[in-house]
Structure 1
Amino acid sequence: MILRQFYIDGPGCLSYLVGCEHHGLAMVVDPDRHVDKYLELAEKLDLEIIGVVDTHLHTDHVSGNTELADVTGAEIFLPEAAEATLEHSPLAAGDVLEIGNVRLTVLPTPGHTPESISLLVWDVTRGEEPFAVLTGDTLRVGDVGRPDASQPAELEGLARQLYHSVFHTLAELPDSTIVYPGHATGGSCGKGGGSIRLSTIGYEKRTSPIFSLRDEAAFVEFVTTQLPERPANHDRLRDLNRRGAPIVGVVEPEPLPLQDAVHYLARGAALVDTRPKAAFKEKHPHGAVHLELGPTISKRAGYVFYPEETIVLLLDSPEDYETAFWELARVGYDNIVGYLEGGMRTWEAAGFPVAAGDVEDVSPKTAYEIVQNGSHAQFIDVRERWEYRQAHPPGVTLIPLGELPSRLNELDPDRPVVIICNSGNRSQTAAGILGQNGFRKVYNVLDGIVGWMQQGLPVEQGD
């Protein structure tokens, strides 16, 4: 039997290749859109990928099911309750998928989403008990999936379904059953969890704070409060996965001469600068959005761009193109027309407007002085409401990051804006949104509210 786990840093997504080496067959579970890694492993192990299974309609990334099916001819499987419209075979409770000597049995575990399933993994040559369970985003190590991922209006009802999935379904499995979740640390599909990427049912029952909440009301309260921000593209990604994502195929670098890049920009395309932060601060095209190429770019993009937005990339090196493409395509932004040939040097040589330091990192003490010295700066907190209630600077206005694009009209682009979050990461994303929308001066508070309190600056609690 073969069971290999794949991890994507940043969003924290986990996917799996499950196979039988004796029969040379495999299926991929919860694949992300960049499918080369599955194909390379299958070729290395001489396996034929015959099926692609998603445990639910993902809301934080685009499934690679259509991509894999196009390359391999594999059959796509989705939960029956997903009501998906792409060509697929629906899975219902108790259905069995045969992979040679390996079997996957469908176990309905709704709560994270209404259609969520888990997959019991059986090695028929080893015994009569399941070897493992692929829990999707229902159960994570030390955590569960957030119940508002798909239908925020039905939060409490989904939370109650999640309770029953955890305590009346998964907890009933043998303690020795290995738990392979759909997420580890990172991403926006849960509240917490650690960096460990597998566990057992018995260990989770003994040690996870989730399993200490045996009272249903206490469980529901826990999983429905203090949730991380919900990116604006969650609903769009869920709908895209219901329809089936368009096939990308082979990605080739697409250099754009300056005149072509300007053509797209003049028609509303976003210019995304993926260079390191130091290079962006030194100089960048006026109006460019800074999304530094790295583990967090996929997550941050969901707060910045509108659906179907056309994107022109500004790269540190042409070799970065494929990585940047897949990081954005992973979260549904695949209308990338190319990268600016010659980069910043070409832009400057043509005499186009250049900005420097539009977003300035400042210490909490400096931010406090800016707000207090009569500069008429606008002070906004982009954390979630529950975080704001715990502690916030006096006079700050709460605009959670997920709401910022729709509330820009509440801010004056001609006045300075000071942005604070918990540690300085979300505020950097917020600064990119403001920069894209013509705000002239933006200050990002380094170390966020944590640094603010460590420096002894005043805070308030409550609303």
Structure 2
Amino acid sequence: MFFKSFFDEELAQMSYMTGCQRTGEAMVIDPARDINPYLETAEKEGFTITKVTETHIHADFLSGARELAQHTGAVLYLSNEGDNDWKYEYLNELNHVLLNGGDQFYVGNIKFDILHTPGHTPESISFVLTDEGGGSKVPMGIFTGDFVFVGDVGRPDLLEKAAGSEGTSRQGARQMFQSLEAFKDLPDYLQVWPGHGAGSACGKSLGAVPASTVGYEKANNWALQHTDIDEFTDELIDGQPEPPKYFGMMKKLNKEGPSLNKGRDVQKLTVDQLEDYRGNDAVIIDTRDKWTFAAGHLPGTINIPYNRSFSNWAGWLVDYDQSIVLIGEESRLGEMKKSLEAIGLDEVTAYVAQSDLSQIGGLETYTSITPEELENHYKQDDRYVVIDVRNPGEWEAGHMDHAHHFMLGHLKESLDEIPNDRTPIVHCQSGVRSAIAVSLLQANGFKDTINLKGGYAAWEQQWDKS
């Protein structure tokens, strides 16, 4: 049997390929939008991808299942569980098989048994793998998707918070409890192959280790220690992180069928040509690091550095009907474009090489101050206002007196609530998110906005005011 995992660091997303070496058939589970790694692996290992499957309709990334099935001619194996609100809508154009709990199918000599594991979503299914071709009569592992993670379980509130299905959080949590009761009956030796690792917003405490076992999770996963459904429901729902704004769009697009029209040409612009793209129908994203951006940037641009958080913050701050212009390293344009396409932001139309910025004048800058400067000067002056852009849980755990709270992901919709006669001093926990916030505020007219170095953590350490 062949087995390979694929990990997207930006989205903390896992996908898998399993193959029967005797028959040359392979299946991809929960493919990401970029299908090239699966095609390259199949060619290298001598496999034909004959099946493509998903554990559920994803909310945190745009699935590559539709494109991979169309490209290879593979059959789609997708969930038929859940209510009519969450059924796939694009299947008539492709060969497909709908799966329910208790079903079974083969990839060559590898057997897959289907478990219906609702909780994260109503249609969630898991795949139990048995390598019969290798002579085994017992299962090897289970692909759990967003059902069971290492150290955590899938959150039940996304349908309500991101997709607008009111009242589904508690129902999902109670379904999760029942699914976990069935999970406890699986053999302890069974390997657990989850859909996400640490950094994903699909749970609140995912472990960084990429795989586990049923027995290990039964012994250590907090969710599997509960015996009371009401206590479990309360703890599962409490403290879940704010779901990124784009999650609702991902659910919609993955249900309807992700677009196959990505990969368009991107026009290279001079700085002067960039003026034609300014306005509400376009967003200009400067992908340089925050210090370089602070030292000089084009007015009206938003700074989202190209790092592991790039996709996440682009999903929060860019509207899906906007065209996108990038400023950054020309050699990394393809990578940045793929990162945006991973969450369905396909409208990258143009770019400016960051080296071109050094040839012009009139660039904006912004100032950063220390916690000591904040306390000894700026907070005593009523011309300034402190803006905290951390998550609600961070704010509730402790915040500065008289600060105003606008979580970064919602800052664009909250601009009218910021006093326009006072200069904002922005902070997050460490200084990373606040740098993005400063750029957003500057782009929307708050030109003198100031960033707090080191964020709330540095302020708290120096002034001990938690």
Letter in 2 for 1:411: I
User: Of 444, 448, 461, which residue of structure 1 is paired with 2:455?
Assistant: 448
Q: Indicate conservation of the 8 Å contact 2:55/2:125, yes or no.
A: yes
Q: Indicate conservation of the 8 Å contact 2:284/2:326, yes or no.
A: yes
- Residue 50 to residue 370, structure 1, CA distance change in 2 (3 Å): farther
- Quote the residue 2:228 is aligned against: 215
Equivalent residue of 2:174, what SS? helix
- Residue 445 to residue 90, structure 1, CA distance change in 2 (3 Å): farther
Matched, 1:333 2:345: yes
Q: Indicate conservation of the 8 Å contact 1:67/1:249, yes or no.
A: no
- Quote the residue 2:179 is aligned against: 165
- Quote the residue 2:143 is aligned against: 134
Q: Indicate conservation of the 8 Å contact 2:280/2:322, yes or no.
A: no
- Quote the residue 1:104 is aligned against: 112
Letter in 1 for 2:369: V
- Structure-2 separation of matches of 1:432 and 1:95: 52
RMSD: 2.2
TM-score under structure 2 length normalisation: 0.91
- Quote the residue 1:117 is aligned against: 125
- Give the C-alpha shift of residue 433 in structure 1: 3.0
Aligned length: 452
- Structure-1 separation of matches of 2:374 and 2:21: 60
- Residue 46 to residue 224, structure 1, CA distance change in 2 (3 Å): same
Matched, 1:83 2:91: no
Letter in 1 for 2:132: V
Q: Indicate conservation of the 8 Å contact 1:284/1:344, yes or no.
A: no
Letter in 2 for 1:333: L
Give the gaps of 5 or more residues in structure 2.
none
- Structure-2 separation of matches of 1:117 and 1:32: 18
- Give the C-alpha shift of residue 77 in structure 1: 2.9
- Quote the residue 1:367 is aligned against: 374
Deviation per residue, 1:255-288 (Å, 9 max, x gap): 2355654323256311111123332122111111
Equivalent residue of 1:422, what SS? coil
- Structure-1 separation of matches of 2:79 and 2:374: 50
- Structure-2 separation of matches of 1:404 and 1:396: 14
Q: Indicate conservation of the 8 Å contact 2:159/2:169, yes or no.
A: no
Deviation per residue, 1:197-237 (Å, 9 max, x gap): 10000011112222223322222122111111211111111
- Structure-2 separation of matches of 1:414 and 1:270: 26
- Give the C-alpha shift of residue 243 in structure 1: 0.8
User: Of 431, 435, 445, which residue of structure 2 is paired with 1:438?
Assistant: 445
Equivalent residue of 2:334, what SS? helix
Letter in 2 for 1:164: Q
- Residue 313 to residue 113, structure 1, CA distance change in 2 (3 Å): same
Equivalent residue of 1:50, what SS? strand
- Quote the residue 1:58 is aligned against: 58
- Structure-1 separation of matches of 2:137 and 2:303: 54
- Give the C-alpha shift of residue 20 in structure 1: 0.9
Q: Indicate conservation of the 8 Å contact 1:431/1:442, yes or no.
A: yes
- Quote the residue 1:323 is aligned against: 335
Give the gaps of 5 or more residues in structure 1.
none
User: Of 288, 294, 300, which residue of structure 1 is paired with 2:301?
Assistant: 288
Equivalent residue of 1:210, what SS? helix
Deviation per residue, 1:281-317 (Å, 9 max, x gap): 221111111111121101111221112221011112x
TM-score under structure 1 length normalisation: 0.91
Deviation per residue, 1:138-193 (Å, 9 max, x gap): 11100112211222332111111112112x22221110110000000112111012
- Give the C-alpha shift of residue 343 in structure 1: 4.0
- Structure-1 separation of matches of 2:355 and 2:414: 31
- Give the C-alpha shift of residue 253 in structure 1: 5.4
- Residue 424 to residue 343, structure 1, CA distance change in 2 (3 Å): closer
Identity %: 32
- Give the C-alpha shift of residue 33 in structure 1: 0.8
- Structure-1 separation of matches of 2:21 and 2:265: 33
- Structure-1 separation of matches of 2:247 and 2:119: 16
- Give the C-alpha shift of residue 135 in structure 1: 0.6
Letter in 2 for 1:222: E
Letter in 2 for 1:363: T
Q: Indicate conservation of the 8 Å contact 1:273/1:290, yes or no.
A: yes
Deviation per residue, 1:95-126 (Å, 9 max, x gap): 22321011222211111122111111121133
- Structure-1 separation of matches of 2:42 and 2:377: 57
- Quote the residue 1:30 is aligned against: 30
User: Of 244, 259, 271, which residue of structure 1 is paired with 2:257?
Assistant: 244
Equivalent residue of 1:354, what SS? coil
